[in-house]
Every structure is written in structure tokens, then in C-alpha cells.
Amino acid sequence: MSEQEHADDTESVTAATSEKLVELAKRRGYFFQSSGAYGGVGGFYTFGPQGAALKGNVEDAWRDRFAVAEGNMEIDAPTIMPEPVFEASGHLDGFDDMLVECPECGESHRADHVVEDNTEYEDAESLPIPEVEEVIAEYELVCPSCGAGLAGQAVETFNLMFATNIGPGDSDPGYMRPETAQGIFVEFPRLKEYARNQLPFGVTQIGRAYRNEISPRRSIIRTREFTQAELEYFIDPETDEPDLESVEDVEVTLYPASEQNAEDGDEIRTTIGDAVEDGIISSPWVAYFLGVAKPWYDAVGVDMDRFRFRQHLSGEQAHYASDCWDAESEIDGNWIEMSGFAYRGDYDLSKHGEHSDDRFTIFKQYDEPKTVERATVDPDMSYLGPEFGGDAQAVVQKLEDLAARDRSAFDGDAVEIDLEGETHEIPVEKTGFAVEEQTEAGEHITPHVIEPSFGVDRLVYTVLHHAYREDEVADEERTYLELEPEVAPTFVGVFPLQNDDELEAQANEIVADLREVGLSVTYDDSGNIGRRYRRQDEVGTPFCVTVDYETVENEETTVTVRERDTTDQKRLPVDDLAETLSAIREGDLEFDEL
């Protein structure tokens, strides 16, 4: 039987507006602006009980797919890191957005967003600053807050990292990490040992990242503190190949840079295998991870008709990436970036190798020993010792690395090395530099990195937005979230039909049984049964169980189980309830089949 009195066509249900969703999220405990008692602060959100559970389930699903199923390691690194890390990574110099300040009200805005929101430019972030200033003047763009003209205002760069001090005083600056990735890269020398020095291997991390966004907006889509789930996959670019066969038939919608640049360019529907063969996706590794990600996004509840992979335009690439594709979801007619799949090459490991005293390479054994010409150093320690004291060994390492990397650096009378931010000159004659023929068993190579980087908050937003439904049940308007059982915060709501000791005792027993098999259960005995169903529908609980007088009076103890989307109800024996609902939760059984 069904509560619905008409054929409910969910296809025709109007899509959620973000406004309705944000209101529901606050009212039902998904997410809301933090520190409301103190007026709230832009760009910081608290996930309430429902939101924290949904986010946790999404993170677990990500961990299952990208760490466990792929055989990757997971780590949990600190969120504050010292300044030299970000000098090396390039974030200190290059992690900037364009800022324009209103001459009237003093509000700061992202200049590229002002341009994109009010002109036909779609990717103003990739424009050089003088051009952005010109566009602002040409279109006579105004301050989004007060309407004053912005023409003639300087557009400046603004570094997005939150700065702090480590310990008392300001001698040891640190930064809140702007991406979880750096926590993985800096530990590479140790992580490679855990991987037994064998490439390829992957390291994942799920954790907070911080960006002091100029204009945080659209609730949890652009915040100043958010969660990333990142995988850094280290490969030998010469020999390692992905298991492309396992994903070659995955169908994808791609929006390559060439199509974005073409006047009549359009999205391309193809398969991962064909996209690689046709040269649309140049890196098979990036293609592999797109092929893994697409079914995963589908499984957690992203609507595949509102999903695509878009390639970055050349001016849009991050400073470390040579190619990057974003997974995008459609929200109220706009595409938002949920994740990026970047080919980072050897950028990060090389930089940390140059700036730190550790080795960010891996030893690659040859099939057979080779005789090669090698640049070596044999420094004069009677010179380095007095000159560098306790740092002498670090200098030796620097000289070795430099000789291996750039033997021309030893062409002159002196060679320059960087030690803790200071440049030192060492006479070449004291370095023992020589080029020799050596028989070698292998070489130290700097692995390349492929990085699938997921934003958890934007995914949570997308999942909620794509799940939002409105229909009519028994002549009443209903709002419900068609969340996938795998991610729904609560799997089943249990209600006694009325306030009655016997019904309540039976309902509590059922709650305990269901919790014992690991299901997430809520008990609700307040208000009429219709209202209780609506409450669970609105938070996306897939099933409700009602204990009524038939349950306690009949010889065979049965309950009513109601399915959220169809509102269909079936009577099921209590004895089988935990097993049946667990099977549905695991995807081994459909409610229809009962």
C-alpha cells in the first residue's frame, strides 16, 4: 500500500533551490553558520548532527574506495606546518587570489568573481591582473555590496594562507595548511620506507584545510575551513602504468579545454578508454582516476545527469599542475568544482628535496647493472667542518644532490648552495667534484604524482541538492531527501504508533536489535505518525518502522516498514527485521523484492 494518492513522478518534481536547501539544512541540523551567538563569522560552518553523520558516511565511502580498495596508505598529519614547507611548495609566493577593494564601503571582493558575475567572461581567474583592471573599467563594474564604481581601483594579489606563530613570539612563523597534500609530501622520505621503496604507491589523507577566502559564499561551497580527501599517488613515469582496462568502459561526460575554447564547443560523451585513445585525456593515470571516481560519485548520490569532468584551461592550472580535470556538479544552473585530478609531475618532491635536508627520491634498481658517467663530490671536510660546524653534513648532501642534478653548477670557481634560506658559496676545489664512470645497480629517481583531490563539503552540498525532492502525499506537500542508504545519516526511524507502554517497550526492543547489527537508528514518539514520517523524510531516512497494536496482539509479531521515496508500506516479521534491513543497507536486497 502507498500513502501517495497519485502517481508520483519524481522526474517532474522541481529541483531544489539552494535557498530552500540551506533553510532545511539549518532547521534539521545539517549545517549552519558557526558562532551564531556572536553574530556568526563568514566562511565558517558547523555540521549539525545530521550533517556530521552524512559527512562521516561520505568520508567512510571515500576511504573504502580510494584507500582500502586501491591498497593505499592513509595518514593523519598536523594542520599547522612551518613556513619553510610553504616556501618550498610555492604557496607562500603563489597561492593568491585577486582582490579589489571598494573605495566607498571598504568591502573587499574577489576581482575575478566580480568580472565573472557581471560580464560574459567565464574564467577571469586565468586573466592577468592588468586585464582584469581593464575589464572592470570597460564594463563599469560596481561594488556588489554598495554599488559604488570600481573602475580605476587597483586589483591586488592576496595570499590565502592563515598565518600563525608556533610557540611564543614571532620567530617561528607557521601556516594553517591550505591543502592536506603538503602533509603527505613532506613525509615522503618516511612514507617511501613504509612502501618498502617500491613504486607505485599511494597515500591518502582526509582532513581540514584552511583558506582565508576573500569572499566566502554560497554556504558550504566556498568556506575558510573545509575538509579535503586527497590521494597522492607516486609513480615512476617511465615504467608504471595504471590498470586502465578496469575502467575503460566507464562512460563519462568530458568538457576538454579545446571545446571550451571553441566557439561552438560542447561536452563530449565518451568512455574512459576512448578518451585516452583519442588523446582527449593525455595522462592515462588521470584517466584511470576519473574512471574510478565517476561510479563512486554515482554511488554516493551525485546525479549523473548533472555531472561532468572539465579540463582546466591553460591559465587556470595551479602552479604545480601540468594537466588537471575537475569533477563538476550542476547546482541551480551553475557548475561547481567538487574535486580536481591533477598531474603534479615531480614538482612537489623536487621542491621539498631542494629546500629541505632530506631525500625526496626513490632508488630504482636496474634490470642489469649499467656503466654510466656520474658527477660525484668528495668534499674537503677540513674546510667544511670549521666553515659550517654542525651543518657540514647537510652541506655534503646539498653538494651531492646538486652534482647529480646540475653538474654545470660546478663549472666556475665557486658553487652556490642554499642552507636554511641562506645562500653560501663554496670553492669548487673544496667540493672534490669529479665526473667518473661508474657501474651502478640503479638510480635515485624523483617520482611523479597524480593527485585526486576531493572537497568533502562541496560533495555533501551536491549530494543534498541532488537528493532534494518535493511531492504531494495525501494532499499534503512533502519535502524529502532521496539520499543513498550508504550515506543517509539515519537508516531507519522506529516509532510506537501511540504513547502506550506495551508499544513503546516493543519499539525500544526493535531499536536495540537494529543497533546491534550496526544500523543507524532513531526513535521518535512525539507527534502524530504522519508528522513523524515527514520529519524523517526531510532528513532523508530511507525507512521507518511503526509498531502498532497488530504488532503486540497478533501471534506473529509484525511491524509496518515504510519506504521513504515511494511511501510504500509492507508488513514484516520482527524476527527477520534486522537481517532484512541490513541486507537492504548492504545493497543485497531491494525493498520491492520483499
Binding residues (CB under 6 A) for ligand GAP: these are 179, 181, 211, 213, 222-223, 226, 228, 230, 337-340, 451, 453, 455, 457-458
Beta strands in 52-200 (DSSP E): 73-74, 80-82, 96-101, 108-110, 155-159, 163-165, 173-176
Strand pairing of 201-210 and 73-74? parallel
Q: How far is the CB of 180 from ligand GAP (least distance, A)?
A: 7
Nearer to ligand GAP, 447 or 496 (CB): 447
Q: How far is the CB of 26 from ligand GAP (least distance, A)?
A: 18
Q: How far is the CB of 230 from ligand GAP (least distance, A)?
A: 6
Say how far apart CA 18 and CA 14 lie, in whole Å: 12
Set of cell numbers at residue 460: 555533501
Q: How far is the CB of 85 from ligand GAP (least distance, A)?
A: 14
Strand pairing of 476-481 and 414-419? unpaired
Say how far apart CA 147 and CA 102 lie, in whole Å: 9
Say how far apart CA 540 and CA 468 lie, in whole Å: 9
Nearer to ligand GAP, 109 or 564 (CB): 109
Q: How far is the CB of 347 from ligand GAP (least distance, A)?
A: 12
Nearer to ligand GAP, 337 or 391 (CB): 337
The strand pairing partners of 454, in sequence order, are: 229, 339
CB 180 within 8 A of CB 205: yes
In the 3-class helix/strand/coil scheme, how is 330-351 assigned residue by residue? EECCEEEEEEEEEEEECHHHHH
Q: Which residue has the cell 613532506?
A: 186
Looking at residue 16, what DSSP letter applies? P
Nearer to ligand GAP, 308 or 458 (CB): 458
Q: How far is the CB of 361 from ligand GAP (least distance, A)?
A: 22
Nearer to ligand GAP, 462 or 560 (CB): 462
Q: How far is the CB of 455 from ligand GAP (least distance, A)?
A: 2
Nearer to ligand GAP, 223 or 446 (CB): 223
| Torsion, CA 388, CA 182, CA 320, CA 454, rounded to 10 | 180
Q: Which residue has the cell 660546478?
A: 410
Say how far apart CA 543 and CA 194 lie, in whole Å: 44
In the 3-class helix/strand/coil scheme, how is 99-114 assigned residue by residue? EEECCCCCCEEEHHHH
Q: How far is the CB of 254 from ligand GAP (least distance, A)?
A: 17
| CB-closest chain residue to ligand GAP | 455
Nearer to ligand GAP, 240 or 316 (CB): 316
Nearer to ligand GAP, 343 or 495 (CB): 343
Beta strands in 184-258 (DSSP E): 201-210, 225-235, 251-255
